Structure 1
Amino acid sequence: MTKNIGIFSLTSALAVGVLAAQDAIETLATVDVIGSSENVLGLTGSGAFIEAEDYQKKGITNIQQILRKVPGVYIREEDGFGNFPNISLRGGDGTRNEKVTVMEDGILTAPAAYSAPSAYYSPRAGRMSGIEVLKGSSQIKYGPHTTGGVINFLSTEIPSEETFYTRNTYGTYNTLLSHNYYGDTVRTATGTFGYLLELFHHSSGGFRDIDAGGGLSSSNNTGFKLTEPMVKLFWEPDSALRQRFEFKYGYQDFNSDESYIGLTEEDVRNNPNRRYSATRFDNMASEHHRSYLKYRVEPSENLNFEFAAYYNQFSRNWAKVDDIVGGANSVRGALATGNGLDILQMTGPGSLIFRNNNRDYSSYGYQFQGDYSFASGNVEHLLQFGARYHRDDVRRFQNDEQINLGATGGVTDRVVGAPGSQGNRYQQTDALAFWVEDEISVGNLTVSPGVRYEHLDQSFNDFNKDQSGTSSFDLVSPGVGFNYELDGSAVAYGGVYRGMSTPGPRSAAKSGVLEEESMGYELGYRYQSPKVSYDFAAFFTDFDNLIATDAGLGAVENAKNIGEAEVFGLEAQVSYDPLGESGGELSLPMYVSATWTDATLTSTITEGGGDDIFAGATDGSLMPYMPEWQLAAGVALAKGSWSLALDATFVSDAFGTAQNVDSPSQDTTGAGARAGKIDELLLFDLTGTYDINENVTLLAGVNNLFDERGITSRLARGPRANIGRNAFLGFEAKF
């Protein structure tokens, strides 16, 4: 509680320093993926721009809950708070965001985007100014993982005038959120200077309860605590040449008592908030540093460049029960059959194998991009180009602890393995990328041909086994998109793009895993007006050399190619405000978003089993965690100083493994509790706001209004359910 009080104290201290606002100062624009919701209309592909205000006033900070509104985005909920997101775009494997290019302010943000892209770190939506999602035309400009798409988080912008902002909410499970920043832009004798100081905090006691066992009492320590300070600076010299220098540094300290272990089928139905006694030892601790220095220059009105250098460092140790000795001799087997369940419950004899998954990641690079607009007769060109050198690495240094249990489940002794004995490896990737795309406009038609090339040099060392190896890839991803303006408010768009996703160094060099490839096709129609807007799209993605990830499963040593898949989908999004052009203070905005998907594997997969959720597939098997239907809808009523909003999401059922069985008892691959159905869920959220004055707003809401529960994941080890009904109350102020 002391740290929470400190955050509110800092909030008050910042407020004291607020001075009278000055006139806003015009500055040089930064480079974004989309830039604004208005820019979506002109895209030569499918995309979405989400304003932070759309979700922050509803008390939503879970990126997976936010993206439910975007068609073509698939989510696997794991911990209930979005701390460990699993996001898929148009059918790519969503485990730990591994097949999605995740960026913050246009900079790669995964711990090691090439060597180990699994997102045990993810940017926090609660501190962002916006989120950009690009699905259909991201393959040229953004990599390395282009079989899915790109998600770009936009951090808080430096205010154009002196601004103090604070948002604080408190809710169920002692959940506290506090977001505060202070910044200004001022003119000086040497140019224009801007600064931003930000502090973001999010913590919760958690919604699960740990059983008593082994002579230890029950516990509700299943929550997390996260603190993120950030500083951002820019300087635009007072010179004839328009230019801008921008620096950002951010830090994250995160601690979570989350577990890999779920429950049995019966237990998760009877009490979805339950955790077994052995999971009391599980803890994830991490630190993340992120920084960049950007230089943007506009030599002329039709030519501009941006250069960036960046460095990120991430360290984490997810210390957790990894397996058992006794009974079924595996956690997944114990949860599926009950044989050894007493070990997890710490009510019988056996041993817990507790692993310290200790890893360090680093990444740095230099990137350049520019655009040049020119005309040739009646043909207009916007030539965009860029290059990036990137290096990342991951150092694994793991050991096990064996916790032996007596006849009644009490701890009798603890045997600690030597540091590094369960993994002492180093992996590194050097990547050089070039891309070029030309937006060619003739009348109402814009066509955007382009190509991306990447060269990768990879290496690994396994110090325990005295093994090492190298690998390299040369990847070419061409594509073309179009946008045809039917009138000032409507366009038709589409494209054909080749996507790529590469394996990690060890998988490539030791196991010969090849790059995953895809051909993506889309065709859509988009309309925007003040009163109504809609976007309809059909897409088809043809995957080859699918890579079965080894992330988030706990035991698989290497990824592998598993064959082919086809994903066909229909997307629709409609927004309507019948009072949008009335000119009155009453508004009634509403929206509907829908995705229908047919995602099938087209290869028989006989290899694997156990920790591999793709084992047991036949031609026509449905892809795991890929629901046929996803729906989101909402309506809000606002008048003057108050607003009330009701939002709903629906996800149809899916399968946990490619064998497509309804329960673990039907599994024949050894997947155990990972096999079975993922439940369909219909959830409602109710939120409201009230403006006390032009500066202060009260916030309140209830998420999962009707307390609907169901199995949302069977990974990493066994089924787990979504978070139940929870409420919050707070305020937002801006001066």
Structure 2
Amino acid sequence: MKKRQELVALLAATSVAALLAPAGLRAQERGATQLEPIDVRGARAAGASAEIGTVSPIDPRQMLPADLQDFPGSAERVTSQDLADQRPLTTQDALRNVPGAASVSDDGFGRHSGISLRGSPFRRSRKVLVMEDGVPINFSPYLDAGTHYTPPVERIEGIEVFKGPLVNYGPLNNHGVINFRNLSPFGPKETVFSGALGNTKGADRSVNNMRHVHTRQSGENVGVVLSYSGLNAGGSWDTEKLGYNDFYGALGIRGENQDLTVSGGFFRQRDHYDEDNFSGTLADFKKYKHNKKAAADAGHFPVSCGGCYDWNTYNADFYRGQISHNFYFDNKTTLSTRVYGNYHDRARFYVSDESNNPPSDFVMEGRDRLYRNYGADSRIEFADLPLFGGLTHTVQAGARYEEHFFDNQNRIGLTNERLDFDDRGSRDGRQKLTANSFAAFAQSAVQVTPTFTVVPGVRLERYKIGFRDLDDSANNGNSTYFQALPMLSFSWEFAPVTTLYGGYHRGLSPHIVRDVLETETGYIAPKKEVGDNFQIGVRSKAVRGFTFDAAYFHSDIRNYQFGEAFQSDFGDRVFSSLDKVRFDGFELSARVDSNAFTDSAWNVYGEGVYTFVHSKIVKGTEEGGVNVAGNRVPESMRHTANLTLGVQHDSGFDASLSWTYRGAYYTDALNLPMNPLDVEEGKVDGVWLLSARASYKVTKELTAWVSGQNLTDKFYVSDRSDGAKPGIGRTVMAGMTLKFN
């Protein structure tokens, strides 16, 4: 314990975070949204760097500069204005215009997280580092990287997606990093009330409802945010009823040369949801559609009792907190320190398929998991330092220490005992997993010319995992890992506001631990997944009213872990590993606005995003020794696209239509085709989905809006995990938002 305290104290004492870089008028000339002025010494330079820096600002909340024109890597921002225009119903919907991003929602409203970047498997976002204000919200990046949580879209003011090259964030950084930014206490004063009602076709819940309220107030040196969000809605099956209540708060204090932010929240999730899905012919699947109860009574589910699926639940209580401090030494040096922690208690309960004669004679089981993570992060930047030959460079370095605790256990109830979050039943198998990690990085942005920047860097990751099987000590063991992750990136503005960018970085994804340790031969150390990732791209705003970004990417990843479509006897999803996989692809995004060419109050705009990923198993075998080299990587979509056409008016009217293509993918390394006689196996076909949204500013303070998904009510297979699951039916929500200062 003393050693741990000394490490945390060392991080806090030596950490430095900087937001310093060239400022000038270029951000204003490009139309970048200026940050709120900060009346503390040195912070203006930090704010300018956060606007237009050539490297990531070292800020506890902000991962990317606001203007990405000269940024040396592939990155995207979803701004607060984008969120207001798009009216996304979920955070996953908010990513639809991000090239390289794709999502699969198996619960209808995105609570159980299914985000993919550049061909990574989408389920539970396991291959992507997902953060909230710079802190990971994956359950445990070093032990169990999945997540069933993303923040409610109503309380975020932006989303940042960084696909690389990168060394300043990790692990889970082969495919990219996502950061959800909460409302800042240093933003403009506002109070917002928002509410909506709607319907999901095929769900038992007749009326969905969404509610949100937040206030952000500030004095001369103090700011505060208080937020509440809630949702009750139907899901993909008629038995699914989704619900959460979310509370968030932040307090910010500014001094002469420093600022302090304390933030945290509580997310309470109570879903009628399970992971049993349809088994049978394609004809029967289309016959029953979203009606799980009738299909279960007909024997198409593990439990032939449709009413019993009303008892199955997913429950979670998620507490999180962060304290971050910035110290501005001068206009070139900023110190940033933060400590953070989270506590995620989640449990899922379901009627066992071993039940004798449900509903009169049944047994319930459960998966009960508790995650506790604590960390301290320290970063430093020295901006515009002199270098040989009259060059200048900006140096960034940082260190981070984290501890992870994961209690993983099965539950079983007595005969005819209904299990829930308050009555979890008896323990039936228990594991304790731990991890501690130390990571450090350094990078230097060398300004070779005013328009050409080269950024070499390296990240070091050291982590140790421990596994304890409380029922069989023969499985116990520990493993320690060390990995150096080099990077080299560049940006070259070779023409006015037209930039070539790219480079290389090595990424790391620790394996999911719980399954690979369940062996008859005792503890076997899980492998680490390491990738070499290359990319090159070009972005431009040279033509007024037209922007585009295009990038090519290539990744070679060794010891690639993927999830099988079915669970193990212990109740977990089975994870397998391939020796080597490869991803080659390109992504395109473009937007055109008519008001750049006319003086009209109307603006007609078009936006398009397309991603192509050619994934390939270079070396690997499936169960039984079958060689699967040459096959496509499981859960990797080859084509994804989003096409949007919209119209806006200065009076406050905004409406748009989007056609989204979610591409086909295989669910297994054998690349089995979809079997019409057994719909739970094989390939999942691609699908085009239509969505739309519209809003009108009734008064200066009041906006009316409507948003809809899958407007043609297309019935399709969304995922195959323990059977086939349909995508959500037509969902429409309409509401009002009242906003005033």
SS in 2 for 1:148: coil
Q: 2:409 aligns with which of 370, 373, 397?
A: 397
Query: Are 1:464 and 2:459 matched, yes or no?
Result: no
Q: 1:411-433 CA distances to partner (integer Å, 9 max, x unpaired)?
A: 9xxxx997222x21110100000
Query: Are 1:182 and 2:215 matched, yes or no?
Result: yes
Shift of 1:480: 0.6
SS in 2 for 1:269: helix
Structure 2 CA distance for aligned equivalents of residues 664 and 178 of structure 1: 42
Which residue does the alignment assign to 2:532?
Answer: 519
For 2:541, the aligned partner's letter is Q
8 A Cα contact 2:567 2:574, kept in partner: no
For 1:367, the aligned partner's letter is D
Shift of 1:93: 3.0
Equivalences for residues 534-683 of structure 1 within 5 A: 534-549=548-563, 553=567, 555-556=571-572, 559-607=575-623, 618-639=628-649, 640-664=651-675, 674-683=680-689
SS in 2 for 1:135: strand
Shift of 1:617: 5.9
Quickly say closer, same or farther: Cα 1:53–1:179, change in 2 above 3 A: farther
SS in 2 for 1:589: strand
For 2:284, the aligned partner's letter is D
Query: Are 1:147 and 2:182 matched, yes or no?
Result: no
Shift of 1:491: 0.5
8 A Cα contact 1:34 1:40, kept in partner: no
Which residue does the alignment assign to 1:288?
Answer: 318
Quickly say closer, same or farther: Cα 1:403–1:262, change in 2 above 3 A: farther
Structure 2 CA distance for aligned equivalents of residues 81 and 498 of structure 1: 34
Shift of 1:91: 2.7
Structure 1 CA distance for aligned equivalents of residues 352 and 576 of structure 2: 22
Structure 1 CA distance for aligned equivalents of residues 548 and 245 of structure 2: 38
Which residue does the alignment assign to 2:719?
Answer: 713
Equivalences for residues 190-205 of structure 1 within 5 A: 192-205=221-234
Quickly say closer, same or farther: Cα 1:598–1:228, change in 2 above 3 A: same
Q: 1:642-666 CA distances to partner (integer Å, 9 max, x unpaired)?
A: 1211111112322222221223579
Quickly say closer, same or farther: Cα 1:417–1:208, change in 2 above 3 A: closer
Query: Are 1:375 and 2:392 matched, yes or no?
Result: no
Structure 2 CA distance for aligned equivalents of residues 402 and 714 of structure 1: 31
Shift of 1:387: 0.5
Q: 1:144-167 CA distances to partner (integer Å, 9 max, x unpaired)?
A: 212221100000122544321122
SS in 2 for 1:368: strand
Structure 1 CA distance for aligned equivalents of residues 627 and 196 of structure 2: 46
Query: Are 1:273 and 2:296 matched, yes or no?
Result: no
Q: 1:703 aligns with which of 705, 709, 717?
A: 709
Structure 2 CA distance for aligned equivalents of residues 25 and 480 of structure 1: 33
8 A Cα contact 1:459 1:505, kept in partner: no
Shift of 1:441: 1.3
Structure 2 CA distance for aligned equivalents of residues 636 and 557 of structure 1: 42
Residue segments in structure 1 that go unaligned for 5+ positions in a row = 1-23, 211-221, 327-342, 406-410, 609-614, 667-671
Shift of 1:629: 1.2
Which residue does the alignment assign to 1:254?
Answer: 269
Q: 2:489 aligns with which of 468, 472, 481?
A: 481
TM-score after normalising by structure 2:
0.83
Query: Are 1:170 and 2:197 matched, yes or no?
Result: yes
8 A Cα contact 1:539 1:570, kept in partner: yes
Structure 1 CA distance for aligned equivalents of residues 682 and 597 of structure 2: 50
Structure 2 CA distance for aligned equivalents of residues 725 and 505 of structure 1: 38
For 2:233, the aligned partner's letter is S
SS in 2 for 1:474: strand
SS in 1 for 2:105: coil
Structure 2 CA distance for aligned equivalents of residues 424 and 228 of structure 1: 30
Q: 1:315 aligns with which of 345, 360, 378?
A: 345
Q: 1:117-147 CA distances to partner (integer Å, 9 max, x unpaired)?
A: 2102333333210110111223x01012122
8 A Cα contact 2:185 2:224, kept in partner: yes
Structure 1 CA distance for aligned equivalents of residues 635 and 354 of structure 2: 27
Larger deviation, residues 40-49 vs 273-282: 273-282
8 A Cα contact 1:380 1:440, kept in partner: yes
SS in 2 for 1:678: coil
Bigger relative contact order, structure 1 or 2 (CA pairs below 8 A, ≥6 apart): 2
Which residue does the alignment assign to 1:215?
Answer: none
Q: 1:306-364 CA distances to partner (integer Å, 9 max, x unpaired)?
A: 100001000011112454479xxxxxxxxxxxxxxxx8xx69x9x86632111111001
Structure 1 CA distance for aligned equivalents of residues 353 and 78 of structure 2: 41
8 A Cα contact 2:236 2:726, kept in partner: no
Equivalences for residues 54-453 of structure 1 within 5 A: 54-138=82-166, 140-158=167-185, 160-173=187-200, 174-187=207-220, 192-206=221-235, 208-210=237-239, 222-237=240-255, 239=256, 242-264=257-279, 265-275=282-292, 276=296, 277=306, 278-321=308-351, 323-324=353-354, 354-373=364-383, 374-376=385-387, 377-401=389-413, 419-421=426-428, 423-443=429-449, 444-453=451-460
Equivalences for residues 3-14 of structure 1 within 5 A: none
Which residue does the alignment assign to 1:502?
Answer: 510
For 2:526, the aligned partner's letter is V
Structure 2 CA distance for aligned equivalents of residues 285 and 430 of structure 1: 27
Q: 1:65-112 CA distances to partner (integer Å, 9 max, x unpaired)?
A: 222322212323311211111222223333311111111111122222
Structure 1 CA distance for aligned equivalents of residues 365 and 589 of structure 2: 45
Structure 1 CA distance for aligned equivalents of residues 553 and 478 of structure 2: 37
Shift of 1:675: 2.1
Shift of 1:553: 4.1
Structure 2 CA distance for aligned equivalents of residues 320 and 587 of structure 1: 51
Q: 1:160-184 CA distances to partner (integer Å, 9 max, x unpaired)?
A: 4432112221111422122211121
Structure 1 CA distance for aligned equivalents of residues 83 and 129 of structure 2: 22
| Percent of residue pairs identical | 21
Quickly say closer, same or farther: Cα 1:86–1:661, change in 2 above 3 A: same
Shift of 1:685: 1.3
Larger deviation, residues 644-653 vs 551-560: 551-560
Quickly say closer, same or farther: Cα 1:568–1:397, change in 2 above 3 A: same
Query: Are 1:533 and 2:547 matched, yes or no?
Result: yes
Structure 1 CA distance for aligned equivalents of residues 400 and 560 of structure 2: 26
- Size of the alignment, in residue pairs? 650
Q: 1:618-658 CA distances to partner (integer Å, 9 max, x unpaired)?
A: 11111222222111010111112312111111123222222
8 A Cα contact 1:75 1:94, kept in partner: yes
SS in 1 for 2:68: helix
